[in-house]
Each structure stands twice: as structure tokens, then as C-alpha cells.
Structure 1
């Protein structure tokens, strides 16, 4: 790794201080910029490939580092809560199962959590959702524990009650098989860190049955499943967004998926398509959306050159739904903690669309 590359990568983060502090304030987290920049710099110094990916895809580095501010987890390697890792041509924030637990505890959704894998030779007795199971095994005899059967997630709720969810191996493998990275048979967390992914997936499934779920945990899971490639790479609008528009919930917005480095580079002449957004000197093809897309048609709505197609597409979805529901304030709240370039772009689109709606256009 050259000194220049390392310094350039660190400079990408250094320029994000104001945006980082904005995210910390908006998300009400307590991570400290200078400390997290130090941990990020250490990670890139210790991993040449991470540094190279950061230089080649600086937008992904900015987005991943912004997630630190949004979720409130430190990059301190001694804590083991989250890590900056290179994955499929981009830098992502890999949140560990311990980081997911910490996020839920910080949000007040739970007071504590135990996640254990169960194997065929373990002595395991499930006693229902309101009682701790009986689980006996030798943690040092890993070779003789037998076939993987599933995961149980035991949490202590805010009122002190115990809640236990048993997640079968079949459910775990079904989630794995839906992973975009797994389907494309590339190296990823399901290959390199299988047992940790079993636990993370157990939490993702179990949390659906908790009486309440922290908003930040939903955001973390959405980010891991999309940008980090751990789950099904869907472009569907999450139920949390629908609830926000309907006024049924007040939920922190999700992390926006980023493209891989290959996707960033794919460009076509503007004459080849009519549904395009400016990406660089040339126009770039946007993936098709379900339903009508509100087209940007004036200078105010021109996107910053480094916004990826997936973010542009999501921006159009937000504007379209805001116009249909007249939920302008909800839409602005929804994008309030997006990366600054994307947020400002959507706010310009929303202002234009709201004015047009008021004029009956």
C-alpha cells in the first residue's frame, strides 16, 4: 500500500466531519468523530485491499462511515461491534451480532440478549417463549456437537420478562440462499463467517416477534441485507416507510443501498434510453421501477455526479410516493439522515414536486 493511497483514503473520511456530526445529532448517538476516524484509519492501514477499495469507491467509504454515526456503534476493534470491510467492490460497515444486540439495547427494545447455536448432540429442551430453555453442551468439544439444528434467541424485555424465539436451520439456510452474494457464489460473510451469520440471521428473524423493535436495529438490518449483501437484495419500500407516510409510526429511515464498483462504471449513451439520470459526463441507465417514475425535468433536480443509480432510483420513489400521499413532511423526515449529497438532491426534487402539486400540475 502506498503512503499516498492511504492518505487519500483517510482524507475522504476527514472531509466528512460536518456530515458525520449532523448524522450524530439527527440520530441522537454519541460516537465521536475523531475517535472513529482513527479506528477507520487503523483498519485501512492494516488491510491493503480495504484501502484500495476505499480509493476506488470513495462514495461507499463515505456511506459506510456515515452508518457509524447513524447507528451509534464504534469501530473500536476491541469492542467487536462493527468493522469496515471490503465487499464486492465497495466498503461496507459489517455489524456483528454483538453490534446488533448493542443497537437493540441502546434503543431500549431489550435489556439483554443471548444467542446460541444448537447442534444435534446438544441436550436441548425448549420450554416456550416465556421461559429460558435448557441447553447443555461442551463448548470446548466443537467437533462432536453434531449437525447444526438451529438458533435460539433469548432476550430480556424492558419490563423484565423473558422472550425466547427458536429459529430452525431450515429458516437460516432459506435466508442464506436468498442472499445476493451467496446466489452469485462469490466470497462473502456466509462463506467466511458462517457461524456468526447463523447468529445474525437468528436475530434478524427473532426480532420480528419482539413486542417492540428499536428503530436503529431496523435500519442496521436493512443496510446489512442490501448494501452489505447478507440478505435478499430487494428494492421494495420497507413497511417502516409505508407506516411513516400513513402516520402510524415514527421510524428512523433506512440505509440506502450502494452499487458495486462495476455498477458505477456501467454507462451508456443518452440516446439509448428515455428514463435516465445524469451520473457523469454520460447518462447512466437506471434499473426499471414498478409503476410510474416521476422524471426530473429542470436544472434544480440535477443529481450530483457521484450518486449511484440505486440511490437515484430510490429518490424518485420517495418523490412519487410523497406526491401520491401528499406526505411532503414525512418524505423530508424520511431522507433527513441520508448522506448529504443524496438528501439535498431529494429535497430539491420534493420542493419542485410540491410546488407543481400546489399549482395543480
Structure 2
């Protein structure tokens, strides 16, 4: 009996909830300055309380769970939401559930807004009963009409994403069809888990695929803001010295590679 109580206390003191609370300071150190560490920690603990499968998977491998939380904290995203998924999965058949952390479509959109280069981000799914038209090189943005009175919009057909920059320009328009989405899904390590958003919320993963592709063409880092400020300072300095040529403003960052699995991209960049 005493041994059982001792083991229960050890599990409680080293369980996922206790570890989140114990390492709150370390998590807070890597968070962006705008994130409230205490509120973030409460939300992370709340996921364990409301989702038994996440709690089970986190308890099976607390290290993997904390690694996922550290990734979310560094990005300043809320775990257990469409910003950052906590996906229970099995590394092999018969193995215990563990947690895999994945940035969600709302997370990619949040990172784009946070960089300060965009005024709006549009990520939408197209169903078979919707009307959709986009001609690269001719249309600046897709023309998408939805019959909101329809009882059924049909099956998922396409997904698209683009951003409107602060100067009014339209970013590259990303359009993915079902075949391209299936190619992306096939590269996902967690897609075969019954708890994966690929199986529980398919539309959100279509949206994520488009948002992740758009991320290559839209700044998602504070480095963009710093570069703009540096360029402005150089221009201001040059203006105080008329004998020198003016320095051009900082160019738009080139597309960067994402850490996640990649898929094909369609669309054209419209200036």
C-alpha cells in the first residue's frame, strides 16, 4: 500500500502538468515579449485537463511533450489550438501514444501578421459547389463565390492563400488541388494517427498546407521589421548628406525554406 502511494506521488510530481509548471520560467525565457507566460502556461495545462488522449500521450513521454511545448513557446503560439496542434501518435504499431507538436494554419497566419509586413492574410477552402476562378498573370487575386444559403457546399476541391502587403501589393497566390494536398499528407509523420487533424479536421489541414506554402513568400520574422528600420535609418542618414546617393529601401526577403514537409505550389506573383 505504501509503495503504491509513493509511486502515485512520484507520477504526480513528475507528470506532464507538474513539469509544465516546474519549467514555466524556462518556457517564458524563449517566448516572444508580447506573450503572457502565466496565461500561456494555464492554457497548456488546460489542454491536459480537457483532452484525455493528449494527457495520456504526454504522460507516456513527458520529454516529447515538453519538447513540443518548447517549440510552441519559441514561436509564441498557443498549444492545443489551431495555432499549434498537440497530436497524440504512435511511433509504431502497438507502441504507446506520444505527443508530436505541429504548427497549425492559424499559427502560420499569426507569424505573418507578427512580422508587420502584411495588412491581411486570406486562406480559404473551395468546395465543389463554390464558384472559383483564378488566371495567373491576368487576375490579381482569386474570384471565389460561395452560396451561403446552400445546405451542402459539396466536397473539398481546392485551397488557396495570399496576403495583401501594407503597400497594397498582392503577394504570390498559392493554389493547391486535392492531388497536391494528398502529396503533402503523404509526407506527414502523424497523418496515420487517428487523432491527427488530417483525420479529425481535414479542412484545417488543407488550410494549413496553403498557409505553410504562402509562408515562403511572406515575411514571418521580426528580422523583416529590423531590416526595414535599418534601411530607413540609412536613408535618413543619406538625406543629411546630399553629396551621396540615396540608399534604396530594403528589398522584400527571398522565399525561405520551411522546416515542415513541403508540397507543390501554384500561382503567380502579382506586383
Report the TM-score range of the alignment, normalised by the length of the smaller protein: 0.5 to 0.7
1:183-332 pair list within 5 angstroms: 185-187=192-194, 188-208=196-216, 210=217, 212-215=218-221, 222=259, 225=260, 231=261
The 1:11–1:181 alpha-carbon spacing in structure 2 relative to 1, beyond 3 Å, is closer
Using the TM superposition, give the Cα deviation of residue 57 of structure 1 relative to its aligned residue in structure 2, in angstroms: 0.7
> Are 1:49 and 1:86, in contact at CA under 8 Å, matched by a contact in 2?
yes
- Aligned residue in 2 for 1:323: none
Using the TM superposition, give the Cα deviation of residue 122 of structure 1 relative to its aligned residue in structure 2, in angstroms: 1.8
Using the TM superposition, give the Cα deviation of residue 11 of structure 1 relative to its aligned residue in structure 2, in angstroms: 1.1
1:99 aligns with 2:101: no
1:86 aligns with 2:88: yes
2:25 to 14, 18, 33: 18
- Aligned residue in 1 for 2:181: 172
| CA distance, structure 2, for counterparts of residue 125 and residue 96 of structure 1 | 26
- Aligned residue in 1 for 2:241: none
- Aligned residue in 1 for 2:164: 156
- Aligned residue in 2 for 1:141: 150
| CA distance, structure 1, for counterparts of residue 38 and residue 256 of structure 2 | 24
- Aligned residue in 1 for 2:69: 65
| CA distance, structure 1, for counterparts of residue 98 and residue 256 of structure 2 | 19
- Aligned residue in 1 for 2:50: 46
- TM-score (normalizing by structure 2): 0.67
| CA distance, structure 1, for counterparts of residue 74 and residue 256 of structure 2 | 9
> Are 1:61 and 1:90, in contact at CA under 8 Å, matched by a contact in 2?
yes
1:37 aligns with 2:38: no
| CA distance, structure 2, for counterparts of residue 132 and residue 71 of structure 1 | 29
- Aligned residue in 1 for 2:134: 126
* Structure 1 gap segments, 5+ residues each: 226-230, 233-361
- CA-to-partner distance for each residue in 1:112-138, whole Å, 9 max, x for gaps? 211111233322221546622221122
Using the TM superposition, give the Cα deviation of residue 202 of structure 1 relative to its aligned residue in structure 2, in angstroms: 1.2
Q: Comparing both structures, which one devotes a greater share of its residues to helix?
A: 1
| CA distance, structure 2, for counterparts of residue 76 and residue 146 of structure 1 | 29
| CA distance, structure 2, for counterparts of residue 173 and residue 76 of structure 1 | 24
- CA-to-partner distance for each residue in 1:107-166, whole Å, 9 max, x for gaps? 2343321111123332222154662222112245363x3443311112112322123222
* Structure 2 gap segments, 5+ residues each: 1-7, 91-96, 223-254, 263-271
> Are 1:122 and 1:135, in contact at CA under 8 Å, matched by a contact in 2?
yes
2:16 to 9, 14, 17: 9
Instruction: Return the structure number with greater relative CO, CA threshold 8 A, min gap 6.
Output: 2
Using the TM superposition, give the Cα deviation of residue 53 of structure 1 relative to its aligned residue in structure 2, in angstroms: 1.8
The 1:32–1:6 alpha-carbon spacing in structure 2 relative to 1, beyond 3 Å, is farther
Using the TM superposition, give the Cα deviation of residue 58 of structure 1 relative to its aligned residue in structure 2, in angstroms: 1.0
- TM-score (normalizing by structure 1): 0.52
Using the TM superposition, give the Cα deviation of residue 198 of structure 1 relative to its aligned residue in structure 2, in angstroms: 0.7
> Are 2:72 and 2:79, in contact at CA under 8 Å, matched by a contact in 1?
yes
The 1:194–1:219 alpha-carbon spacing in structure 2 relative to 1, beyond 3 Å, is farther
> Are 2:134 and 2:142, in contact at CA under 8 Å, matched by a contact in 1?
yes
Aligned-residue CA RMSD in angstroms?
3.1
The 1:42–1:186 alpha-carbon spacing in structure 2 relative to 1, beyond 3 Å, is closer
The 1:201–1:87 alpha-carbon spacing in structure 2 relative to 1, beyond 3 Å, is same
The 1:197–1:181 alpha-carbon spacing in structure 2 relative to 1, beyond 3 Å, is same
